[in-house]
């Protein structure tokens, strides 16, 4: 299996920058995708390393990936960003798809 480790929670004040990390073995060699999920709703892609920013997703969301950690950065955080965030990769060695455990972002 391929384990993706995310912090359970992150808190940030409105207008500040939030960083959500996703750790995995040599994750820097993989393509990482990030989803936002609000209660009772399906996940929504907010950032992917392999495609243009999804339609409707603001430029406030960006990502980086190197070594053993990928990071989703949310600039100028708004109340509406309060949600769960999941990282996701496809592991070519096992042809399996993996999600991180999720991070609850709280906007203070």
Q: Minimum CB separation from another protein for residue 86, in Å? A: 5
The backbone region for 28, taken as left when phi is positive above 0, alpha when psi lies in -120 to 50, beta otherwise, is alpha
SS3 content of the chain, % helix, strand, coil (to 5): 5, 45, 45
Q: Which of 24, 100, 105, 107 binds another protein (CB under 8 A)?
A: 100
Q: Which is nearer to another protein, 68 or 90 (CB)?
A: 90
Report whether 30 contacts 89 (CB < 8 A): yes
Residues 78-97 that bind another protein (CB under 8 A): 86, 88-90, 94-97
Q: Which of 12, 102, 105, 107 binds another protein (CB under 8 A)?
A: 102
Nearest to 107 by CA among 80, 71, 73: 80
String marking each residue 37-76 x if it binds another protein according to CB under 8 A: x----xxxx--x-xx--x----------------------
Which phi and psi angles does 50 have, rounded to 5°?
-105, 5
Q: Which is nearer to another protein, 74 or 89 (CB)?
A: 89
């Amino acid at each position: 299996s391929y384990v993706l480790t995310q912090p359970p929670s992150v808190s940030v004040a409105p207008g500040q920058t939030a960083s959500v990390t996703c750790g995995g073995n040599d994750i820097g060699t993989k393509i990482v995708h990030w989803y936002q999920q609000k209660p009772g709703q399906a996940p929504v892609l907010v950032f992917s390393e392999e495609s243009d920013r999804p339609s409707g997703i603001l430029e406030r969301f960006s990502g980086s990936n190197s070594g053993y950690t990928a990071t989703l950065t949310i600039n100028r955080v708004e109340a509406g960003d309060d949600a769960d965030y999941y990282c996701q990769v496809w592991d070519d060695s096992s042809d399996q798809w993996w999600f991180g455990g999720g991070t609850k972002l709280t906007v203070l």
